[in-house]
């Protein structure tokens, strides 16, 4: 069975007269890929997934499975399999009946149902569990049954809506490895919704970071670390080392000093991004390009590392940079030291209009109003 | 004897047992605080006293009177003749098929219509609140008023007959088929349905709105058509609600006096009507027979109550 | 499309019995086969409203009995429900059965039996006798609803109050009662409506001396005056509808309360 490509083009969905949950979202998922839709609650990732499933109708836009337009196709007819956050196993049926349900709906002969059910249970490492009742399983086992139930109908697209969020941390790690290995074994095109960064990074071929109903960046996991496309992406992936400055020739100049960048880079205002794990402490004075002299501002000892905030060496300026250093390095506030910004990991973003403040206060308003609604 | 302790009741799907609640034994007792057993007894005694005296006592007195004891007439010696009289009484014999027929038909039809109505209401997007309000409207309307309304609607000179006249289907009241005080009991069934459909429907609607839609989504993703979703997902989900309210409805229709009296015939009459007829009969020998009828009704419906408890399953003090 | 027709049928089916009832109450003349009364009049209501009419007596008697019954059922049901909801004990299933049976078993059957005792102790034909017998369907019903309420009640609030030094009475007034009030309100209102609508129990024990509204309505229905009967019926219906409207916000989610309404 060859895998299916999924194309979303200009999907828009709004509820009532609020701003849209999903705004003109377009992306293409290659056959056999596992793509994660990553983002905070309310960003539109679940809505997007449910549109692919057919449980939600987009207001405009199209969804294609290979070349077939499924936008107007009802969920029952779409060749999708779905696993939800809650396992939603039918309580009045046995495990085997749950797994075989999809085939029963397709009026498959009982022998085929039984064979495939056994095979599926084996795939999720639950051989022999067929005769058990739903109440007898643990959370992780239930989700595995849920996965078997979705896969037995050989869907073109597998959709997972935060399937591991309800499990405890250890189980989550085991389960995501299992899901990834099964997915690669079967080769089914998969869309995985999560708010957990580590999860997305670990299992995805590509990640679509979604904010406010739009795709902020759609790339392989490492690209989000080496080449984030916006300040928002950088922040989401956990770095706040964003230095405003100017690019000119092969150099970027900011309050911390000058750093070498690729010569083909456009001139003008920009933002330098350097991750805290790509900054190292150097003994002695600045030597190589990318070395700067800094003053230690604040230290936090974290057992496995020392987290240090530093300011530019000349003492002026408001910029601040954070790095994680070896736990044996314990400077004091006010000490001068030399840092090396790994030149290969310095990334320049175009200068952005700081549109973040209004949006974050919008978010704050929204969360206040939802609190009011709930009470 | 144990105290439940604070526990968070987690909603279980498909009407399974409610709050599992761990029975925590409290070790510390405040000075002057009563032991749990005494507390329970004190809390229960007023209600239990009333029930025991009035309900059990009423049953006991009725039973004794049906055996010929405690009566105003007769020599007060034990006799089963009242029961024999009851079994041979033509009024009772004619009453049984009528009473069962009315109760079974009205309950079954009401359950089916109630489920259909609940599904219909659930799928209504605009005006759902309005429809729900109308649906619940006749629940507090007393049965007697409902019977009057049905009479004015269904009798041969009633509103339906006049509509039929306007449509050219009848040309005089006598031509309109008798729906009230008729042999089959159509008017009685119609009234019960008018009251029971919202009663069962409201409970089914509440059940439908308590989480089955998630399971329906799963079923849809697995290719289930709407009929299959109803058959395999919705029906098992609402079955406890439907059965328990249907039992209540059946018991009520079986034991109701006012409606069959107002909307039915004196003969054959529903069993409660026969019982009251015997009670008021000037022949005082009928009194024990009336008591025997009451005893029979009470025992029969108590069996239904037991069935009800079995269906609803284990619970911690409340009836679902 | 089919759904819209279905909704229409449902709407009509639910409301149509009320149409002739409403029209008859304001009729002077309404002969067959007219679809609307030929002559309207408020005679029905006027006759009832006259001083000395049965209506006043019926309203008073019904109200007094219903109020007595409601408070008694609320008090006994509240305490019995607490026992059922918060504690587990050996004979709990039996007690639950004893509370469930009078709700489902028709009360007239046991009332016929107890009448003998009522005559002997002089309660027959009295208002108090009728009130007492109305407790048969109402007390267990309130008990069961409150049992449900207490099953979901967190005793930690009371323990917290005790730790802060509150007396038992204080705890009841300020912690318990407010917490269970919605369920109690709904159950009490339904107890009121059950008593308000009760016919056969009142008839058996009251012997026709205690004239409540249902007895009155029964008599009018048997008479020839449809207008008067309809008018009385409408007046009779208003208090239950009003009370239900008042407690409707407590009603949502309280399907246990509704389950007991098979009584009405």
Domain A239-350 top-level CATH class: mainly beta
Q: Is the peptide bond before B268 cis (omega within 30 degrees of 0)?
A: yes
Domain range list for chain A: 6-226, 239-350
Answer whether CATH 3.40.50.300 is correct for domain A6-226. Answer: yes
> Between residues 75 and 114 of chain A, which touch chain B (CB distance below 8 Å)?
75-77, 80-82, 84, 86, 88, 90-92, 101-102, 105-106
Q: What is the dihedral of CA C198, C201, C207, C208, to 10 degrees?
A: 10
**Chain-chain contact of A75 with B233 (C-beta, under 8 angstroms):** no
Work out whether strand A157-161 and strand A80-83 pair parallel, antiparallel, or are unpaired.
Answer: parallel
Q: Compute the distance between CA of residue B279 and CA of residue C204 in angstroms, rounded to an integer.
A: 10
Spell out which residues of chain B touch residue A74, defining contact as CB-CB under 8 Å: 220
DSSP state letters, A1-64: -----EEEEEEEE--TTSPPSEEEEEEEE-TT-EEEEE--TTSSHHHHHHHHHTSS--SEEEEE
- Sorted by sequence, the CB contacts under 8 Å of residue A138 that are 6+ apart come out as none
Work out whether strand A206-211 and strand A189-194 pair parallel, antiparallel, or are unpaired.
Answer: unpaired
Chain B nearest-CA distance from A186, in A, is 18
Q: How many CB atoms lie within 10 A of CB A60?
A: 12
Residue bearing the bigger pLDDT, A299 or B1: A299
Angle in degrees, 0-180, between the axes of helices B235-255 and B212-221, rounded to the nearest 10? 140
Q: What is the ipTM, given to two decimal places?
A: 0.87
Percent of chain A with pLDDT over 90: 64
B251, B307 contact by CB (below 8 A) = no
Could you say which DSSP state residue A135 is in? G
**Chain-chain contact of B317 with C140 (C-beta, under 8 angstroms):** no
Task: Say how far residue A174 (Cα) sits from the centre of its chain.
Answer: 18
pLDDT at C243: 85
A88, B218 contact by CB (below 8 A) = yes
Are chains C and A touching, using the cut-off of 8 Å on CB pairs and a minimum of 3 such pairs? no
Q: Is the peptide bond before B293 cis (omega within 30 degrees of 0)?
A: no
* pLDDT for residue A315 is more than 70: no
pLDDT at B76: 67
The mean predicted confidence, pLDDT, of chain B is: 84
**Interval C104-122: pLDDT, tens:** 899 999 999 899 889 989 9
Chain B interface residues (partner A, CB cutoff 8 A):
13-14, 16, 214-215, 217-225, 228, 232-233, 236
In the predicted model, residues of chain C with pLDDT beneath 50 are: 256, 259-264
**Interval B246-281: pLDDT, tens:** 999 999 999 999 999 999 998 899 999 999 999 988
**Interval B53-89: pLDDT, tens:** 999 999 999 998 888 887 665 566 788 888 888 899 9
* pLDDT for residue A55 is more than 70: yes
Q: Which of A146-150, A355-359, B218-222, C246-250 has the lowest mean pLDDT?
A: A355-359
* pTM attached to this predicted model: 0.83
* pLDDT for residue B19 is more than 70: no
Chain A nearest-CA distance from B110, in A, is 25
User: Could you give the 3-state DSSP secondary structure of residue A319?
Assistant: coil
Could you say which DSSP state residue A310 is in? E
pLDDT at C251: 61
**Interval A323-368: pLDDT, tens:** 988 998 889 988 889 999 888 888 988 887 665 544 444 444 443 3
Chain B nearest-CA distance from A278, in A, is 45
pLDDT at A1: 55
CA distances C80 to B5, B42, B44, B50, C190, Å, are 18, 9, 4, 11, 17
CB–CB contacts below 8 A, A to B: 57
**Chain-chain contact of C101 with B302 (C-beta, under 8 angstroms):** yes
pLDDT at B58: 93
Mutate to test the interface with B, among A74, A75, A147 (most CBs of B within 10 A): A75
* pLDDT for residue A102 is more than 80: yes
Q: Compute the distance between CA of residue B267 and CA of residue A155 in angstroms, rounded to an integer.
A: 66
The mean predicted confidence, pLDDT, of chain A is: 88
Domains and their CATH numbers in chain B: 40-79 (no CATH), 90-146+179-312 (1.10.3720.10)
> What CATH number was assigned to the domain covering residues C54-263?
1.10.3720.10
Domain range list for chain C: 54-263
Spell out which residues of chain C touch residue B5, defining contact as CB-CB under 8 Å: 155
pLDDT at C44: 81
**Chain-chain contact of B221 with A81 (C-beta, under 8 angstroms):** yes
Angle at B16 between CA B13 and CA B18, to 5 degrees: 95
B214: nearest CB among A54, A81, A86: A86
* pLDDT for residue A241 is more than 50: yes
Mean pLDDT across the stretch A78-84? 95
pLDDT at A151: 96
């Amino acid at each position: 069975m060859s895998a299916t490509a999924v194309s979303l083009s200009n999907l828009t969905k709004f509820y009532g007269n609020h701003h849209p949950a999903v705004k003109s979202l377009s992306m293409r998922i290659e056959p056999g890929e596992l793509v994660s839709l990553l983002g905070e609650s309310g960003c539109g990732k679940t809505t997007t997934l449910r549109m692919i499933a057919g449980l939600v109708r987009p207001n405009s836009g199209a969804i294609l499975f290979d070349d077939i337009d499924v936008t107007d196709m009802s969920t029952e007819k779409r060749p999708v399999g779905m696993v939800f956050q809650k396992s939603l196993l039918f309580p009045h049926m046995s495990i085997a009946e749950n797994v075989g349900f999809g085939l029963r709906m397709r009026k498959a002969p009982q022998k085929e149902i039984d064979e495939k059910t056994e095979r599926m249970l084996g795939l999720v490492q639950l051989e022999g569990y067929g005769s058990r009742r739903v109440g007898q399983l643990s959370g992780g086992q239930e989700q595995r049954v849920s996965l078997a139930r979705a896969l037995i109908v050989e869907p073109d697209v597998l959709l997972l809506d935060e399937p591991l969020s309800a499990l405890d941390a250890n189980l989550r790690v085991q389960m995501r490895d299992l899901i990834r290995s099964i997915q690669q074994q079967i080769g089914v095109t998969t869309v995985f919704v999560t708010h957990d960064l580590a999860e997305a990074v670990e299992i995805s071929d590509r990640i679509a970071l979604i904010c406010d109903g739009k795709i902020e960046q759609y790339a392989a996991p490492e690209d989000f670390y080496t080449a984030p496309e916006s300040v928002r992406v950088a922040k989401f992936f956990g770095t706040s080392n964003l230095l405003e400055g100017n690019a000119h020739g092969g150099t970027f100049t900011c309050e911390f000093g000058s750093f070498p960048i690729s010569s083909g880079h456009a001139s003008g205002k920009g933002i330098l991004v350097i991750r805290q794990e790509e900054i190292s402490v150097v003994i002695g004075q600045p030597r190589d390009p990318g070395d700067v002299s800094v003053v230690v501002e604040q230290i936090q000892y974290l057992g496995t590392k020392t987290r240090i905030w530093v300011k530019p060496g000349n003492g002026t300026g408001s910029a601040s940079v954070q790095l994680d250093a070896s736990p044996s390095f314990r400077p004091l506030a006010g000490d001068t030291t030399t840092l090396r910004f790994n030149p290969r990991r310095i990334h320049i973003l175009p200068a952005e209009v700081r549109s973040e403040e209004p949006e974050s206060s919008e978010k704050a308003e929204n969360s206040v109003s939802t609190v009011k609604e709930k009470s | 004897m144990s105290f439940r302790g604070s526990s968070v009741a987690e909603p279980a799907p498909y009407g399974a047992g409610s709050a599992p609640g761990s029975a925590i034994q409290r070790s510390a007792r405040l000075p002057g605080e009563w032991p749990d057993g005494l507390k329970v007894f004190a809390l229960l005694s007023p209600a239990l006293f009333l029930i025991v005296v009035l309900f059990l006592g009423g049953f006991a007195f009725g039973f004794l009177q049906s055996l010929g004891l405690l009566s105003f007439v007769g020599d007060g010696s034990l006799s089963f003749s009242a029961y024999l009289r009851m079994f041979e009484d033509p009024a009772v014999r004619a009453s049984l098929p009528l009473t069962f027929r009315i109760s079974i038909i009205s309950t079954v039809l009401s359950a089916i219509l109630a489920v259909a109505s609940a599904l219909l209401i659930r799928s209504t997007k605009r005006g759902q609140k309005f429809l729900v309000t109308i649906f619940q409207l006749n629940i507090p309307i007393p049965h007697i008023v409902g019977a009057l309304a049905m009479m004015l609607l269904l009798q041969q000179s009633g509103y339906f007959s006049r509509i039929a006249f306007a449509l050219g289907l009848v040309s005089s009241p006598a031509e309109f088929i008798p729906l009230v005080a008729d042999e089959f009991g159509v008017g009685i069934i119609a009234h019960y349905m008018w009251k029971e459909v919202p009663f069962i429907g409201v409970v089914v609607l509440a059940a439908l709105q308590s989480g089955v839609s998630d399971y329906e989504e799963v079923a849809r993703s697995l290719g289930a058509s709407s009929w299959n979703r109803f058959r395999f997902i919705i029906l098992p989900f609402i079955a406890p609600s439907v059965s328990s309210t249907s039992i209540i409805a059946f018991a009520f229709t079986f034991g109701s006096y006012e409606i069959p009296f107002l909307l039915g015939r004196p003969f054959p009459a529903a069993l409660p009507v026969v019982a009251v007829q015997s009670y008021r009969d000037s022949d005082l020998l009928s009194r024990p027979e009336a008591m025997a009828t009451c005893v029979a009704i009470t025992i029969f419906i108590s069996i239904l109550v037991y069935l009800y408890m079995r269906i609803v399953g284990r619970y911690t003090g409340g009836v679902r | 499309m089919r759904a819209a027709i279905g909704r229409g049928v449902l709407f009509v089916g639910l409301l149509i019995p009320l149409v002739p009832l409403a029209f008859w109450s304001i009729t002077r003349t309404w002969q067959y086969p007219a679809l609307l009364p030929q002559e309207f009049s408020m005679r029905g209501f006027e006759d009832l409203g006259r001083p000395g009419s049965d209506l006043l007596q019926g309203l008073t008697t019904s109200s007094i009995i219903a109020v007595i019954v409601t408070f008694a059922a609320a008090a006994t049901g509240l305490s019995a429900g607490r026992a059922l909801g918060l504690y587990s004990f050996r004979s709990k299933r039996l007690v639950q059965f004893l509370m469930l049976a009078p709700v489902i078993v028709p009360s007239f059957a046991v009332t016929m039996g107890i009448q003998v005792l009522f005559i002997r102790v002089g309660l027959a034909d009295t208002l108090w006798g009728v009130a007492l017998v109305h407790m048969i369907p109402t007390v267990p019903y309130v008990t069961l609803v409150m049992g449900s309420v207490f099953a979901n009640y967190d005793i930690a609030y009371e323990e917290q109050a005790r730790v802060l030094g509150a007396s038992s009475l204080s705890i009841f007034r300020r912690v318990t009662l407010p917490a269970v009030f919605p369920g109690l309100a709904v159950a009490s209102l339904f107890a009121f409506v059950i008593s308000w609508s009760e016919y056969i129990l009142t008839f058996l024990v009251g012997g026709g001396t205690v004239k409540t509204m249902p007895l009155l309505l029964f008599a009018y229905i048997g008479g020839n005056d449809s207008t008067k009967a309809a008018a009385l019926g409408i007046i009779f219906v208003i208090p239950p509808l009003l009370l239900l409207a008042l407690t409707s916000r407590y009603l949502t989610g309280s399907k246990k309360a509704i389950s007991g309404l098979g009584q009405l």
